[in-house]
Amino acid sequence: MSYHPENGDTHGTPAKAPRLLDEVRRVLRVKHYSLRTEQIYVGWIRRFILANGKRHPRDMGAAELEAFLSRLAVRNQVAANTQNQALSALLFLYREVLGVELPWLDGVTRAKRPARVPTVLSREEVTRLLAYMDGRPRLLACLLYGAGLRLMEALRLRVKDVDFDRGEITVRDGKGGKDRRTMLPRSLIEPLRLELERSRQLHQADLHEGFGATWLPFALARKYPSAPREFGWQYVFPAPRRSVDPRDDTERRHHFDDGMLARALKKACREAGIAKPVSAHTLRHSFATHLLESGSDIRTVQELLGHKDVSTTQIYTHVLNRGGHGVLSPLDR
């Protein structure tokens, strides 16, 4: 008998047995995985089950998993990162959800990621790119380049973590669950103040309509019941409209959509005549490269980027410890 990933186990009582993908979502949320990771993992697990005739994962093992990963690489010709993403999702399913510890899990080979040189824009190209952008997408792009933020770090930035007096931004729960501080470019102080005022007005309107509670991670909303409605916890870049949060079916205002920035970057590249493939992360690469070119110490750049090891930062240059006393944002140069 086949097993459907969205239904209960056929060996029990379908109406009462927890659905596998619902259990996957529950465990992911208990372990504080992001909503984006949840969507990706659930998608890969569903594809794995459907690719094997809707058999339950407990009835499958190394042969099915390796065959699935091989098909991704050979037939679908996915990148090594994509294949490793699928493997991570399936390992999470077996280890964290099903509680299965089998020897073959450790023997599964991850695809090797080829060493790639990151795409970096010249200073002149950055200037041209920003000249063809406006509004919130331009401000976001300036922040990515001027402070070296990852895209989601900028989108999830809270009002309380922008310190105008000290000229710094605090990144909370960045990659690897780490906090760090980075610079706030002086040229962005006034634009960000205007953006915060816009955010304040949206928040006041939400409160007036009976909403205004933002999502807080790690059960902070239970620990500090009034925090979700405080302005300091609101997003610096709120979405223009409220939406229903799939995690708890609560209507609230999320952060700005990353897809809008991607479209704005693509349009600006075309109009600026830039042939390089440019994404939001390209601006972060350019931030690091331009700092090192201007003489900033590589370990200072490592801290600003939030890299765990300096070897990750070394991809931007073959020259270590070039000196540099104090760091000025490349956006301000």
Q: Pick the catalytic residue from 136, 254, 285, 307.
A: 307
Q: Which secondary-structure segment (H or E) carries 168?
A: strand 168-171
Distance (Å, rounded) from C-alpha 321 to C-alpha 296?
Answer: 8
Q: Output b/e per residue, 247-266; b: 16+ Cβ within 10 A.
A: eeeeebbbbbeeeebeebbe
Q: Are 316 and 294 in contact (CB under 8 A)?
A: no
How many angstroms separate the Cα of 128 from the Cα of each of 18, 19, 117, 133, 271? 54, 51, 23, 9, 9
Distance (Å, rounded) from C-alpha 272 to C-alpha 255?
Answer: 28
Active site residue 175: yes
DSSP letter (8 states) at residue 62: H
Active site residue 150: yes
Active site residue 284: yes
Among residues 170, 166, 173, 172, which one has the least CA distance to residue 181?
170
Q: Pick the catalytic residue from 150, 158, 160, 180.
A: 150
- 155: which 2 tokens? 């989108």
- C-alpha torsion sign, points 223, 227, 232, 234: positive
Q: What are phi and psi of 274, to 5 degrees?
A: -95, 120
Active site residue 255: no
Q: Pick the catalytic residue from 156, 254, 284, 285.
A: 284
Q: Pick the catalytic residue from 123, 128, 175, 181.
A: 175
- Beta partners for residue 1, in sequence order: none
Active site residue 316: yes
Q: Are 104 and 235 in contact (CB under 8 A)?
A: no
Active site residue 160: no
Q: Are 242 and 259 in contact (CB under 8 A)?
A: no
Nearest-5° Cα angle at 246, 243 to 251: 35
Query: What is 199-229 written as a DSSP string?
Result: HHHHHHHHHHTT--PPP-STTHHHHSTTGGG
Q: Pick the catalytic residue from 281, 308, 322, 333.
A: 281
**The residue type at 29:** R
Q: Pick the catalytic residue from 3, 145, 235, 316.
A: 316
Instruction: Give the residue numbers annotated as catalytic, written as ranges.
Output: 150, 175, 281, 284, 307, 316
